[in-house]
Amino acid sequence: MTSITHSTSFSIPARLEDVRLIAASANTIFSQLGFNSVDVYQLELSVVEAANNIIIHAYRNQPDKWLDFSLEVTNKKILCIFKDRGRTADFLNNPNPELPQNYDIEALSTHKRGVTIFCTVMDEVLFESRDGVNTITLVKYLPAKACK
């Protein structure tokens, strides 16, 4: 049975400069869970890109909005959960037809890299929109040495 062993959640104003609070929390928790420094960097970047996408695309840079963020650690994985009440943009069901099967991330415009980064780094990426609330969940399985 999978049960939550640690959880933290908070809300930030939907401003790009405040995403650093999410980044710092993710960095600390991923570091404590046994990920190596390269993985921690990539995981933190994934979380930052998800938050930035919400602020830019769902909220269209409206700083009076709020972004809810939570980290839930189980005995097997960590869930990074984002909730917003912005414009719905289901990037998972609206794939970019410009991307061939084996593409070079360097060739993408800078406005298309964020989703590619977190979909590549994370083990699962889930999207749901219900009753005006959009939820993006990034899932990363814990390293074998952290699962006990």
Residues 6+ away with beta carbon under 8 Å from 64: 13, 14
Sequence-ordered alpha helix ranges (H) in the chain: 19-32, 37-53, 113-121
The edge-to-edge listing of strands for the beta sheet with 133-141 is 4-13, 66-74, 77-84, 133-141, 124-130
- pLDDT category of residue 95 using cuts at 50, 70 and 90: very low
3-state secondary structure of 126: strand
pLDDT at residue 74, rounded to an integer? 94
Domains of the chain in sequence order: 4-146 (3.30.565.10)
Which of 58, 38, 46 has its CA nearest to residue 19? 46
pLDDT at residue 88, rounded to an integer? 84
Q: What is the pTM of this model?
A: 0.83
**111 pLDDT exceeds 60?**
no
